[in-house]
Amino acid sequence: MAVFPAFLCNEFALAALGKRMDSLKADLRARIETLDCDLLDWATIVMQHNTDIARLKGKAGLE
């Protein structure tokens, strides 16, 4: 008879762990999306800087 309460306790612990894992997955997914947007912004800025540098080199005759 003592096995049944232990079984229930384990099941409740596993259910709580599953909910925690779902929460962590959602947080990680949101952070990855934010990082993706930040990296796209960074890449756009770097490409613009490269374009500006190339244009300035051309005007200064450094090419």
pLDDT of 48 reads: 97
pLDDT of 1 reads: 66
Q: Count the residues in the chain.
A: 63
Lowest-pLDDT range of 4-8, 21-25, 48-52 = 4-8
- Element of type H or E holding 19: helix 3-60
Q: Is the pTM of this model over 0.75?
A: no
Residue 56 vs residues 27, 49, 50, 62: alpha-carbon distances, Å: 43, 10, 10, 9
